[in-house]
Structure 1
Amino acid sequence: MQSFSSIASADSQAHRDQEWLFGWDPTPGIVSVWAQRDGRAIIWRRDGEKVHASTARFRPWLLATHLQDLAHLGPALQEDNERAGISYQRLTGPEGSYRYLLSSYDGRRLERAVLDGATRRLGQPVQSINSLTETYYRVGPVEQYLIQTGCVYFRGLTYENLYRLQFDLETTALDPHRGRIFLVAIRDNHGFESILEAPRPEDEKQLIVDLCELIRTKDPDVLENHNLFGFDLPFLEQRASKLGVPLLLGRRGAPLPLERYQETLAIGPEARKRTRYSVAGRELIDTLDAVRRHDFVVRDMPSYSLKDVARYFGIASAERVYIEGSAIFETYRRNPEMVKHYALDDVAEVDGLSLRLLGAPFSLASMAPRRYERLASAGPAMGILEPMLVRAYLHTNTALPCQSGQQPTDENLHAGGAVHLFESGIAEHVVKADVASLYPSLMRTFQIGPASDHLGVLLSILGRLTDLRLTHKAAARTADEGSVEARHHEATQAAMKILINAAYGYMGAGSMALFADNRAAGEVTRRGREILTQVLDALRQRGMALIEADTDGVYFAVPSDWSEEQERGLVREIGEELPNGIRLEYEGRYRAMLSHEVKNYALLTYSGRLIVHGVALRSSRTEPFGERFLRQALTCAMTGDIVNLHNIYLEIVYALRQRKLLATDLATRVRLSKTPETYMAARANHPEPAYEALLNARRTQWYPGERVRFYRTKGKRYIWLPEETAETATYNDWQEEKGQNALPSHDEVAQRRDYDVDHYLQVLVTSYAARLRKAFAPDDFAQLFRLDGQPGLFDQPIENIQPRWIRCRSAEVK
Structure 2
Amino acid sequence: NRGWEQILDARECTEKELLEQLVKVVQTKNPDVIEGHNIFGFDLPYLHRRCELNDVEFRLGRDGSIPRTYPASIRFAERSIDYTYYEINGRHVIDTFFLVQSYDVSQRALPGYGLKVAAQHFGVAAPGRTYVEYNEIAELWESNPQRLLDYALDDVRETRALSSLLSGSNFYLTQMMPYTYAQTSRTGPAAKIEALLVREYVRNKHALPRPESGEQHAGGYTEVFLQGILGPVVYADVESLYPSIMLAYNICPKSDQLRIFPQILKDLKDLRFKAKHASKDHQKQGNALLADNLDAMQASFKIVINAMYGYLGFGSGIFNDYGEADRVTTTGQQIAKQMIREFEARGSRIIEIDTDGILFIPPVHITTEEEERNLVKEVSDVMPEGITIGYDGRFRKMISYLKKNYALLAYDGSMKLKGSSLVSRSGEKFGREFIREGFARLLEEDIQGLHDLYVSWKNRILNHEWNIADFSRTESMKSSLAQYREDVENGKRTRSITYEIAIRKGIDICKGDRITYYVSGSGLQSNHYEKGRTSDEWPADAPDENTQFYIKRLDEYCQKFLPFFKPQDFSALFSTDTLFSFSPEGIEIIKEIRNRETGEESLR
**TM-score computed with the length of structure 1 as normaliser:** 0.66
The answer to which structure, 1 or 2, has the higher relative contact order (CA under 8 A, 6+ apart) is 2
Q: How far apart, CA to CA, are the structure 2 residues paired with 1:271 and 1:706?
A: 12
User: Which stretch of the first structure deviates more once superposed, 631-640 or 320-329?
Assistant: 320-329
Question: Which one of 157, 180, 192 corresponds to residue 371 of structure 1?
Answer: 180
Q: How far apart, CA to CA, are the structure 1 residues paired with 2:162 and 2:224?
A: 36
Could you say what secondary structure the match of 1:209 adopts?
A: helix
Whether contact under 8 Å (1:600, 1:617) holds in the other structure is: yes
Whether contact under 8 Å (1:662, 1:752) holds in the other structure is: no
Whether contact under 8 Å (2:474, 2:514) holds in the other structure is: no
Partner of 1:65: none
Q: How far apart, CA to CA, are the structure 2 residues paired with 1:210 and 1:771?
A: 54
Q: How far apart, CA to CA, are the structure 2 residues paired with 1:684 and 1:519?
A: 41
- Structure 1 residues 438, 360: CA separation in 2 closer, same or farther (over 3 Å shift)? same
Amino acid corresponding to residue 547 of structure 1 in structure 2: I
For 1:136-155, what aligned pairs fall within 5 Å after superposition?
Answer: none
Partner of 1:765: 555
Aligned: 1:785 with 2:596 = no
Aligned: 1:453 with 2:260 = no
Deviations 1:255-283, CA, capped at 9 Å, x for gaps: 43242321232x34544444332221111
Question: Which one of 410, 426, 440 corresponds to residue 229 of structure 2?
Answer: 426
Q: How far apart, CA to CA, are the structure 2 residues paired with 1:271 and 1:449?
A: 30
Q: How far apart, CA to CA, are the structure 2 residues paired with 1:591 and 1:296?
A: 28
Deviations 1:55-84, CA, capped at 9 Å, x for gaps: xxxxxxxxxxxxxxxxxxxxxxxxxxxxxx
User: Which stretch of the first structure deviates more once superposed, 522-531 or 323-332?
Assistant: 323-332
Question: Which one of 72, 75, 85 corresponds to residue 262 of structure 1?
Answer: 72
For 1:467-616, what aligned pairs fall within 5 Å after superposition?
Answer: 467-479=270-282, 480-509=285-314, 511-558=315-362, 562-616=367-421
Partner of 2:200: 392
Partner of 1:224: 35
Q: How far apart, CA to CA, are the structure 2 residues paired with 1:670 and 1:591?
A: 36
Amino acid corresponding to residue 71 of structure 2 in structure 1: Y
Deviation at residue 486 of structure 1 after TM alignment? 2.2
Q: Count the aligned residue pairs.
A: 581
Amino acid corresponding to residue 236 of structure 1 in structure 2: L
Deviations 1:651-692, CA, capped at 9 Å, x for gaps: 333444556557765444445565489549948973433455
Q: How far apart, CA to CA, are the structure 2 residues paired with 1:534 and 1:527?
A: 11
User: Which stretch of the first structure deviates more once superposed, 584-593 or 364-373?
Assistant: 584-593
Q: How far apart, CA to CA, are the structure 1 residues paired with 2:45 and 2:410?
A: 40
Aligned: 1:639 with 2:444 = yes
Partner of 1:774: 563
Q: How far apart, CA to CA, are the structure 2 residues paired with 1:668 and 1:710?
A: 6
Q: How far apart, CA to CA, are the structure 2 residues paired with 1:666 and 1:241?
A: 38
Whether contact under 8 Å (2:448, 2:583) holds in the other structure is: no
For 1:684-723, what aligned pairs fall within 5 Å after superposition?
Answer: 686-690=494-498, 699-704=504-509, 705=513, 707-715=515-523, 716=525, 719=531, 721-723=533-535
Could you say what secondary structure the match of 1:337 adopts?
A: helix
Q: How far apart, CA to CA, are the structure 2 residues paired with 1:198 and 1:488?
A: 39
Could you say what secondary structure the match of 1:713 adopts?
A: coil
Partner of 1:295: 104
Q: Identity of paired residues, percent?
A: 35
Q: What RMSD in Å do the two structures reach over aligned CA positions?
A: 3.2
Partner of 1:622: 427
For 1:115-154, what aligned pairs fall within 5 Å after superposition?
Answer: none
Uncovered stretches (5+) of structure 1, i.e. residues with no partner: 1-188, 729-745, 808-814
For 1:312-461, what aligned pairs fall within 5 Å after superposition?
Answer: 312-380=121-189, 382-403=190-211, 406-407=212-213, 409=214, 412-461=215-264
For 1:728-767, what aligned pairs fall within 5 Å after superposition?
Answer: 749-766=539-556
Q: How far apart, CA to CA, are the structure 2 residues paired with 1:684 and 1:393?
A: 49
Deviation at residue 583 of structure 1 after TM alignment? 1.3
**TM-score computed with the length of structure 2 as normaliser:** 0.87
Q: How far apart, CA to CA, are the structure 1 residues paired with 2:160 and 2:464?
A: 43
Whether contact under 8 Å (2:74, 2:186) holds in the other structure is: no
Deviation at residue 463 of structure 1 after TM alignment? 0.7
Could you say what secondary structure the match of 2:7 adopts?
A: strand
Whether contact under 8 Å (1:590, 1:603) holds in the other structure is: yes
- Structure 1 residues 581, 218: CA separation in 2 closer, same or farther (over 3 Å shift)? same
- Structure 1 residues 558, 786: CA separation in 2 closer, same or farther (over 3 Å shift)? farther
Whether contact under 8 Å (2:377, 2:390) holds in the other structure is: yes
Whether contact under 8 Å (2:233, 2:397) holds in the other structure is: yes
Specify the structure having the higher radius of gyration (Cα).
Answer: 1
Uncovered stretches (5+) of structure 2, i.e. residues with no partner: 595-604
Partner of 1:98: none
- Structure 1 residues 790, 566: CA separation in 2 closer, same or farther (over 3 Å shift)? farther
Aligned: 1:804 with 2:594 = no
Partner of 2:7: 195
Q: How far apart, CA to CA, are the structure 2 residues paired with 1:553 and 1:646?
A: 34
Could you say what secondary structure the match of 1:276 adopts?
A: strand
Whether contact under 8 Å (1:418, 1:529) holds in the other structure is: yes
Amino acid corresponding to residue 240 of structure 1 in structure 2: C
Whether contact under 8 Å (1:663, 1:751) holds in the other structure is: no
- Structure 1 residues 665, 270: CA separation in 2 closer, same or farther (over 3 Å shift)? closer
Report runs of 4+ in structure 1 exceeding 6 Å deviation. none
Deviation at residue 592 of structure 1 after TM alignment? 3.1
Q: How far apart, CA to CA, are the structure 2 residues paired with 1:301 and 1:619?
A: 9
Whether contact under 8 Å (2:311, 2:320) holds in the other structure is: yes
Amino acid corresponding to residue 521 of structure 2 in structure 1: T
